[in-house]
Amino acid sequence: MSTPSTPVQQPQEAAPSYAALAEPTEPVSRPWTLLLVLANLGVWMAFMAPLQVLLPDQIQDISPENKKSLLGWVTGAGALAVLLTTPLVGALSDRTTGRLGRRRPWTVGGAVLGAVALVALSRQDTIAGVAVAWVFVQVGLNMMLATLTAAVPDRVPVRQRGLVSGWVNLPQVLGAVLGVGLVSAVVPGRPGYVALGLVVVGLMLPFVLLTPDDPLPLAARPPLGSLLRGMWISPRRHPDFGWAWASRFITQLSGAAASLYLLYFLQDSVKVKDADEAVLQLTAVTTLFLLVTIVLGGYWSDRVGRRKVFVLGAGAVLALASVVMAVSPTWPAAVLAAAILGAGFGVYLAVHSALVTEVLPSATDRGKDLGLVNVANTAPNLLAPAIAGPVVSLAGYPALFALSAVLTLGGSALVLRIRAVS
């Protein structure tokens, strides 16, 4: 883990003297990083396995004739819970005092709530019950995610953040593969929910028990009255954070819109015989290439001490994947696009995540501010249907992929407006 050749400027307000709020300078160890990765892996397994296998099967058992629309309503309710939970819990953890630390109580509480809700979800036989239980699962898991994400700016010095962000983002991919494998081959059916609850708690405990979480002195606690007001960060006062947020939002919107109709694109344009199997194969290709580049991209960014050029390059690669899909609706082109997408998204995810931690407005609000960044990750999933549907209906799939390429280039180019990070 090498020191960058060019120091990166810090945009945050003056570093306080309290350990919990100070800018970290000591490198984190490999065991610390591993434990954080494992805790995140539990979260993402519990996120992805229900979405891909358990929820669709459960809803189909309850109401097979309305399964598509009902799945959309249930997952939409969960997404709304994500938008509300992550910044709020981040803000509350920023204000938590006590010997246990700021983040740890919320991490443990989120894991317990998520696990209990998963068990409850396994027992539901009505759509209303499934929806309510899934919302509580989302609340619990996002309580964990908000505090685990804040661990990076809390503990990791700038010169390590590209590499650590690469490792920490790996579970987003591995969680889907391992989670689906667990509930498909090892513990199939509704008992899979219970198994996922045990995984969440089991992978969380080592990180909570074996890593430090500096307590926040009462005198340093931000006033509770500022909590709701702090949910709005003025782009005029903190332009770098605003540009980073907008960049992530637009790029994520591009990806969500392009992927929404992938199955139908493979059926209607590529003419594959088994579209479900084709989607699985393309996902495997994307995952393979992402695993290769996500850690390497973050490490390289740390070595040269630059972020923006990597985000721009990754954005260009992502746009190229969309262009390939737009101009050549064939299976070989789809496989090539999947490989390009994985390579580009791995670098983007690692480096942009590191960049965001360097433009947080204040050390006192790291958890809340990263929660707002998570809104930029989640909200596009709610908006994508309103964009993708009309485009496909009026102009077809090539227009949708072309729009995705334009949005990706535009979103990644916004990082050029950031001044505090090179």
Share above pLDDT 70 across residues of the chain, in percent, rounded to a whole number: 95
Confidence of residue 409 (pLDDT cuts 50, 70, 90): very high
**For residue 264, is it left (φ>0), alpha (ψ between -120 and 50) or beta?**
alpha
Tokens of 399: 């227009």
Q: Mark 231-252 as b/e (b = at least 16 C-beta within 10 Å).
A: eebeeeebbbbbbbbbbbbbbb
Mean pLDDT of the chain: 89
pLDDT for position 98 = 86
Please report the beta strands in 312-400, taking only residues with DSSP state E, as ranges in sequence order.
Answer: none
- Distance, in Å, from the CA atom of 364 to the CA atom of 16, rounded to the nearest integer, reads 9
pLDDT tens digits, 124-164: 999 999 999 999 999 999 999 999 999 999 999 999 999 99
pLDDT for position 17 = 64
Closest CA to 37 of 131, 173, 135, 143: 173
Q: Are 305 and 4 in contact (CB under 8 A)?
A: yes
pLDDT tens digits, 175-221: 888 888 898 888 988 999 999 999 999 999 999 999 999 888 888 78
Q: 21 or 208: whose pLDDT is higher?
A: 208
Confidence of residue 387 (pLDDT cuts 50, 70, 90): confident
pLDDT for position 70 = 86
At residue 125's C-alpha, the angle toward residues 119 and 130, to 5°, is 60
pLDDT for position 317 = 97
| Domain annotation for the chain: domains and CATH numbers | 30-212 (1.20.1250.20), 231-417 (1.20.1250.20)
Query: Side chain identity at 52, as an amino acid letter?
Result: Q
Closest CA to 189 of 123, 115, 117, 283: 123
- Give the residue ranges of DSSP H helices in 211-261: 239-260
3-state secondary structure of 412: helix
pLDDT tens digits, 65-101: 888 778 878 888 888 888 888 899 998 998 888 888 9
225 has a pLDDT exceeding 80: no
165 has a pLDDT exceeding 90: yes
pLDDT for position 8 = 40
391 has a pLDDT exceeding 70: yes
